[in-house]
Amino acid sequence: MAADKTTKLLAKQLFKLSLVNGTVSPEQVTGVLGWVEKHQPRRTLALLKVYQHLVVTELAKSHARVEHAGPVASATLDAIAAALTKKYQRAVTATAVPNPKLLAGLRIRVGSDVYESSIAGQLASLSV
């Protein structure tokens, strides 16, 4: 069931309530879910889907997915996390995900930003 305007608006309000100091708070999310369960607003499923999407998008902004080909030292991950924390002015954590398709180098995804420093990326830019 697609979410209508009212449902989207309510989901956004609930999402705002889930933030503490600009970051998603697990306690607040639990509270919001409890409220939804108790009051069963209209289009609950659509509401929860929109709400989930908003939370996931927000969490992705604080999480760096570091794709790599070859080994990555934990010190490198820490350095990446520190650099991104400084850049985005918010706490950013980093997780390593192996991706042999990169051939060599790294690809870091934070929210909708992608930092590319891989051989695969360079080859792709050559083909353009």
Partner 1 sequence: MSNVIAQIEQQIAQLSSKATKKNTGVITAVADGVAKVEGLSDVMYNEMVSFPGGVIGIALNLGEDEVGCVILGDVSNLKAGDEVSTTGKLLSIPVGKAVLGRVVDALGRPIDGKGPIDAKESYPVERIAPGIIARKSVNQPLFTGIMAIDSMIPIGRGQRELIIGDRGTGKTTICVDTIINQARINKVGLASGDKNFRPVYSIYVAVGQKQSNVVRTISALEAADALQYTIIVAATAGDNPANQYIAPFSGAALGEWFMENGMDALIVYDDLSKHAVAYRQISLILKRPSGREAYPGDVFYLHSRLLERAARLDGKGSLTALPVIETQAGDVSAYIPTNVISITDGQIFLETDLFNQGIRPAVSVGLSVSRVGSSAQIKVTKQVGGKLKGELAQFRELAAFAQFGSDLDAKTKATLDRGSRIVELFKQLQLNPIAIEVQASLLWALQKNYFDSIEVKHIVAAANSFKDFLTTRKADLLTKIRNEAKLSDEIEAGLKAAGDEWKNTFSAK
Instruction: Tell me, residue by residue from 88 to 117, as one string, x for binding to partner 1 by CB under 8 A and - for no binding.
Output: ------------------x-xx-xxxxxxx
Stretch that binds partner 1, among 14-22, 41-49, 91-99, 120-128 (CB under 8 A): 120-128
Q: In angstroms, give the least distance from the CB of 27 to partner 1.
A: 26
β-strand partners of 109: 65, 114
56 binds partner 1 (CB under 8 A): no
58 binds partner 1 (CB under 8 A): no
Which DSSP string corresponds to 23-56? EE-HHHHHHHHHHHHHH--TTHHHHHHHHHHHHH
Structural Rg of the chain based on CA atoms: 19
121 binds partner 1 (CB under 8 A): yes
Angle between helices 5-17 and 26-39 (to 10 degrees): 140
Q: In angstroms, give the least distance from the CB of 38 to partner 1.
A: 27
Q: In angstroms, give the least distance from the CB of 46 to partner 1.
A: 14
For 16, phi then psi, to 5°, come to -60, -35
Q: What 3-state class would DSSP assign to 103?
A: coil
Using CB under 8 A as the binding rule, the residues of this chain from 7 to 36 that contact partner 1 are 8
